[in-house]
């Protein structure tokens, strides 16, 4: 089969579109014929490499997969060949205390497709049967592939970690990005007031269309200062932080007393400083978050089916143009998800 493979870290040229052996079903593992796979910054980190992190190369990229069931292992129930599915991207043992408690990302065996095991930027993908979920019929394969990782991440950040409450004010960074566009919608679903940053007026307009009450062009203004003015110097209750070093100080300054900052990534750098006096004097909570549970993924899919949440696709490219997709993400040109069609 054709697959987008990384053998050694590097630039976009490190991605090889090459032939590899077709995957086969095994106990607990099904094979999905991939119809669409979405790109994320995680793909860029796996391709580039991250200091201090070791990825099991060679690796097939792609964490967000939608397609049809091609093969099932013996004993798999509830599924038929040809069923349309999307795939929850997080893998875990499923039997430990953490998994049984709904905290799958805390499992010692937790991993992510396309990061710790082969992903779906290929014609076929081997995935755990327990990770299969029915594709909402109203969604195209491209739309279905665009939502698992980002919506699950944003849901876990807001609901499980920040304990979002109706009436809270939330700052969402990069409100037109994958995680950002999901966070804007989820925060509004929970009755929050949403302030979102954006890199251009076009992206700001996209964030407002998703429900953001106010937008801030971070390239033109000090967003922390703007937050103070918009909130009457109070600050926000929650910050959804996935940018890292470039926004960290302003994010902390934007918090109200008792505010919660939740971070799931660091696209601009992971080394930051923390003023402990501000931390304890204002009663601030700094919270880390990675992905979410299968139970939370099922909740997200229910809302997608009901139309209360919707995926946002910026563009769809063929698998052969995966390098261009990486360029678009790195240049921050996308307002929503970049999705690759397969087959």
pLDDT for the residue 336: 86
Does some domain include residue 46? yes
In terms of domains, do 39 and 163 share one? no
Rg (alpha carbons) of the chain, rounded to whole number:
20
In terms of domains, do 190 and 173 share one? yes
pLDDT for the residue 188: 98
**Residue 260 CA, distance from chain mean position:** 20
DSSP readout, 218-280? Answer: TTTS-HHHHHHHHTTT--EEEEEE-S-HHHHHHHHHTEEEEEEEEE---TT-S-----HHHHH
pLDDT in tens, 79-115: 999 999 999 999 999 999 999 999 999 999 999 999 9
Tally of structural domains, the chain: 2
In terms of domains, do 30 and 107 share one? yes
Distance CA 175, CA 198 (A): 6
Does some domain include residue 300? no
In terms of domains, do 269 and 337 share one? no
What's the angle, vertex CA 145, arms to CA 337 and CA 82, rounded to 5? 160
For residue 42, give the 3-state DSSP assignment: helix
In terms of domains, do 165 and 181 share one? yes
Does some domain include residue 224? yes
Distance CA 339, CA 325 (A): 8
pLDDT for the residue 10: 96
Distance CA 310, CA 334 (A): 17
pLDDT in tens, 50-70: 888 899 999 999 999 999 999
In terms of domains, do 110 and 74 share one? yes
Does some domain include residue 303? no
Give yes or no for residue 294 having a pLDDT over 80: yes
Does some domain include residue 293? no
In terms of domains, do 263 and 319 share one? no
Distance CA 10, CA 44 (A): 10
pLDDT in tens, 23-56: 999 999 999 999 999 999 999 999 999 888 899 9
Q: What is the mean pLDDT of residues 235-245?
A: 94
Does some domain include residue 72? yes
Distance CA 16, CA 19 (A): 9
Task: Phi first, then psi: give them for residue 335, nearest 5 degrees.
Answer: -115, 85
Does some domain include residue 37? yes
pLDDT for the residue 218: 92
In terms of domains, do 159 and 88 share one? no
Please indicate, yes or no, whether the overall pTM of this predicted structure exceeds 0.85: yes
Identify whether the C-beta of residue 285 lies closer than 8 Å to the C-beta of residue 292.
Answer: no
Identify whether the C-beta of residue 216 lies closer than 8 Å to the C-beta of residue 198.
Answer: yes
In terms of domains, do 259 and 325 share one? no
Give yes or no for residue 4 having a pLDDT over 90: yes
Give yes or no for residue 343 having a pLDDT over 80: no
In terms of domains, do 155 and 143 share one? no
In terms of domains, do 34 and 84 share one? yes
Does some domain include residue 306? no
Give yes or no for residue 267 having a pLDDT over 90: no
User: In the structure encoding, which two tokens stand for residue 14, read together?
Assistant: 């490190």
In terms of domains, do 162 and 226 share one? yes
Structural domain harbouring 187: 151-288
Q: What is the CATH number of the domain that holds 64?
A: 3.90.180.10
Distance CA 216, CA 295 (A): 34
Residue 191: pLDDT band with limits 50, 70, 90: very high
Return the residue matching tokens 């299969």: 132
């Amino acid at each position: 089969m054709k697959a987008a493979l990384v053998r050694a870290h590097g630039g976009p040229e490190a991605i090889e579109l090459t032939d590899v052996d077709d995957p086969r079903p095994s106990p607990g593992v099904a094979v999905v014929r991939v119809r669409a796979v979405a790109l994320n910054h995680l793909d860029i980190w796996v391709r580039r490499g991250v200091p201090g992190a070791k990825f099991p190369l060679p690796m097939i990229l792609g964490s967000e997969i939608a397609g049809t069931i091609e093969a099932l292992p013996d004993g798999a129930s509830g599924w038929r060949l040809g069923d349309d599915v999307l795939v929850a991207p997080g893998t875990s043992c499923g039997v430990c205390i953490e998994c049984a408690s709904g905290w799958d990302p805390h499992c010692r065996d937790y991993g992510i497709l396309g990061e710790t095991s082969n992903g779906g930027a290929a014609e076929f993908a081997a995935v755990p049967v327990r990770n299969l979920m029915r594709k909402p019929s109203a969604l195209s394969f491209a739309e279905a592939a665009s939502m698992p990782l980002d919506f699950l991440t944003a849901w876990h950040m807001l609901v499980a970690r920040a304990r979002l409450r109706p009436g809270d004010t939330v700052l969402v960074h990069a409100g037109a990005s994958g995680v950002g566009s999901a966070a804007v919608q989820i925060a509004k679903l929970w009755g929050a007031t949403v302030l979102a940053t954006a890199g251009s007026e076009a992206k700001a307009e996209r964030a407002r269309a998703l429900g953001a009450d106010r937008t801030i062009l971070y390239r033109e203004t000090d967003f922390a200062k703007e937050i103070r003015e918009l909130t009457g110097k109070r600050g926000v209750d929650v910050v959804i932080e996935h940018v890292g070093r470039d926004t960290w100080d302003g994010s902390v300054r934007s918090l109200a007393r008792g505010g919660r900052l939740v971070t799931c990534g660091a696209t601009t750098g992971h080394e930051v400083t923390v003023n402990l006096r501000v931390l304890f004097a204002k009663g601030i909570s700094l919270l880390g978050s990675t992905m979410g549970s299968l139970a939370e993924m099922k909740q997200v899919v229910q809302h997608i089916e009901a139309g209360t949440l919707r995926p946002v696709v910026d563009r769809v490219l063929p698998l052969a143009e995966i390098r261009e997709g990486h360029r678009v993400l790195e240049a921050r040109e996308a307002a929503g998800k970049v999705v690759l069609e397969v087959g």
